[in-house]
Amino acid sequence: MPEIMPTQAPAHLRMGSSIGQPLTRREGVLKTTGAARFAADNHPPGMVYAALAVSSIARGRVTALDVAAARAHPGVIEVMTPANAPKLALDPDAKTNPFMFRLDLLQNDRVRYPNQPVAVVVADSLEAATEGAALLAPRYEAEPARTGLDSDESFAPPAVGAGSPAEESHGDVAAGLAAASVRMEAVYDTPAQYHNAMEPHAIVAAWDGDTLSIDTPSQGMAMAQARIAGLFGIAPEGIHIRSPFLGGGFGSKGLLSGPQVLGIMAARLVGRPVKLVLRREQMFGPVGHRAPTRQTLRMGADGEGALTALSHHAKTASSTFDDFFEPAASASHTLYASPAITTSHEAVRIDTGTPLFMRAPGEAPGSAALESAIDEMALACGMDPLAFRLKNYAEVEPLSGKPFSSKALRQCYEQGAARFGWAARPQAPRQMRDEAGLLVGWGMGTATFPALMFQGHARAVLRQDGTGVVETGAHDMGQGAWTAFAQIAADALGLELDRLEFRAGSSDLPDAGIAGGSAHTATVGVAIHGAGADVIAKLADLATTDRRSPLFGAGNAGVIARSGRLHRRDDEARSESYADILTRAGRDAIEGQGTGAADPAALSAYAMHAHGAVFAEVKVDPDFGQIRVTRLVGAFAAGTIVNPRLVRSQYYGGMIWGVSFALHEHAVVDRRSGRPMNPNLAEYHVPVNADVPSIEAILVEERDVHVNALGIKGVGEIGVTGTAGAIANAVWHATGTRVRSFPITLDRLLEA
């Protein structure tokens, strides 16, 4: 890894700003010393353990469970089955909003997918609970499993992703293809993938009457609180969720899952606190995954290499009982200028757990196919891949026609290509070898991700001693949110960081919304910024209306907050400390509130995206087809950078995910049983240290005055979106062989 060098704050940020500084993680010592308490680290008095028994078939029903054998096992306290599970106030299959997914909570004996929970065993030790679950020995009446994208009749889904239209278009694609001098059509396949966060889904639940205390990893505590309240018929205020640390989420912990609710049900059944932690293989089913896709790209271009038409069609799969459809074709909405674009989706239902949002949903598989197809089109036109992308550079969002709120993609291309040395790339494949005789290839891909915002809230307090407190129910999944939010809070309150206390990770704090969609820093950051501004406005009012203050008569607009003091804007030498202002006013503290949300007017006027370009080098053994990524350079423009150290870390993580997508990651499903055959980290391959190449992330300066008050765009997912395609293109450049099925494994390369 390259050394992370200090980066200056953007020019538009004021002197002394915490924003833009490469600070180390505030929680880093806690995590590296083991002091950070994750959900499963909690052991309330009287706690017992729960273990799931899960289905080994994909479809059918449970005909028998040996409950007597499980109950007779030493240490077993109770066995929860559909016969004795606590009754719920709401049908788990009911849906009242698009972000509510149907849950398997022992409603009946039906099996809808492999690894579906069919019983829960509670015992006084984890070993006893696990052994009791094994003794249940479920017997089934199995039905044929439906697997794969060709297993059933396909249909047009009503919506894709989070409610986007399944089909969108502008212009006449058929006419554009007919008029083209050059045309291409290709089909790309991407596999089912599973989130596999290091920390498995877990819950420690304790009831006290109708109040409930929970420790569980959550990317959306307020949403989980509301879902639990509905299921159990209790007030949301009676549910306290603690989630200070997450060992990764990637979307799988954004919405409450069935196993978490089963832990709560088990605690109610036995009247004691219960801990339930999923085993690794149990995460392949009830907690979401990325669905497989088959994508067909058709393009036409004129004699100069300008696109005349682009068609992107994606086929995907969802479960038989719920609706989530991977919006893969939507990746073609925003990147390349064409007078005619159409994107469409179709789906099949298979016997699987319901797919869910997974890091860069839609964009990750969609961009892998799109960026591969763009390279194939560049080759057909006889153009360098970068030159072809620049030829078809979109000055406005292609599908909507909206201007971009900001777009520094040209600078990303320029800086990334220069750093990588792209100008030395030969046009033809199989032209480069290293000193060991390995084939060397260079490829590139464009990265993009929407600059989203949800809604979140924050509270800020200035105390009489001149210190501050900022509170928000925010989530830190490892991205460094505690640090970035503290930096924004320190700026908002005009305090040094060591004078600020930041509190997060608990549902009794202001609702921070959901940590997903690369939107958390923008959403919560703007809320914190607003709360700080509210406090400073109130403090300024106290000072500027008090004749005893040197700030008297300055007016609210005439002061600057910095280093624990208010200064007159027109005469900064005249100032007063926060402590003096509050003491003279007889106030122990002053409080402010803030909300972060997208501006509807800006949303209607502008297309808002982060952009980037990724350049990849691979080396391929010419005899055995073994592929190694040896170098990655990514250049990204994402508005205001709160902390360059943390942002680089996010870019590195995203690009490593791209390596995983391109070369390693896929779920292998037995077509006969529908069961995942590699539900573990030994056989479900993700990159390890030896697979991670030299990575460099260039932070391209970009200022966006429209996206939100702080100019922040998300960085968590964009690194994935350019990298997989860049690696696929590099493999072609090294070998002259185009593999259109991901991951690109050596057998596929040799067979192509």
Q: What is the pLDDT of residues 683-730, one digit of tens each?
A: 999 999 999 989 999 999 999 999 999 999 999 999 999 999 999 999
CA–CA dist 636, 415 (Å, integer):
9
* Cα separation values, 72 from 86, 132, 136, 640, 652, Å: 22, 9, 11, 61, 51
Q: Is the peptide bond before 114 cis (omega within 30 degrees of 0)?
A: no
**Other CB atoms closer than 10 Å to residue 433's CB: what's the count?**
14
% pLDDT > 90, the chain: 95
- The amino acid at 658: G
Q: What integer pLDDT is reported at residue 742 of this predicted model?
A: 98
**pLDDT tens track for 82-114:** 999 999 999 999 988 878 899 999 999 999 999
* Cα separation values, 150 from 328, 335, 744, Å: 18, 30, 22
Q: Residue 641: CB partners within 8 Å, gap ≥ 6?
A: 7, 10, 20, 647, 699
Judge whether residue 264 has pLDDT over 50: yes
Query: Can you say whether the dihedral through the CA atoms of 18, 19, 21, 27 is positive or negative?
Result: positive
**Other CB atoms closer than 10 Å to residue 572's CB: what's the count?**
12
**Other CB atoms closer than 10 Å to residue 519's CB: what's the count?**
25
Q: What integer pLDDT is reported at residue 150 of this predicted model?
A: 95
Cβ-contact 2, 695 below 8 angstroms: yes
**pLDDT tens track for 564-592:** 999 999 888 899 999 999 999 999 999 99
Rounded to an integer, the average pLDDT of 296-300 is: 98
Only one residue has tokens 């991670």, namely 692
H/E element holding 747? helix 746-751
Cβ-contact 501, 466 below 8 angstroms: no
The average confidence (pLDDT) of the chain is 95
Q: What integer pLDDT is reported at residue 17 of this predicted model?
A: 85
- Minimal CA–CA distance to 186: which of 375, 467, 36? 375
The two three-digit tokens of residue 594, written as one number: 């803030």
Give the SS3 label for residue 116. coil
**pLDDT tens track for 28-54:** 999 999 999 999 999 999 999 999 999
Ramachandran angles phi, psi of 113, nearest 5° = -170, 160
Whether 717 is catalytic is yes
- Minimal CA–CA distance to 700: which of 4, 6, 117, 7? 7
Rounded to an integer, the average pLDDT of 612-617 is: 98
Cβ-contact 629, 691 below 8 angstroms: yes
CA–CA dist 314, 346 (Å, integer):
6
- Model confidence band, residue 10 (pLDDT cutoffs 50, 70, 90): very low
Give the SS3 label for residue 396. strand
CA–CA dist 626, 221 (Å, integer):
44
Catalytic residue among 153, 471, 717, 751: 717
The two three-digit tokens of residue 450, written as one number: 């929407």
For strand 500-503 and strand 468-471, is the pairing parallel, antiparallel, or unpaired? parallel
Domains and CATH numbers, the chain: 402-452+599-752 (3.30.365.10), 455-597 (3.30.365.10)
**pLDDT tens track for 406-439:** 999 999 999 999 999 999 999 999 999 999 999 9
Q: List, in sequence order, every residue forming a beta bridge with 509; answer none if it has no partner.
A: none
Q: Residue 497: CB partners within 8 Å, gap ≥ 6?
A: 18, 23, 486, 487, 490
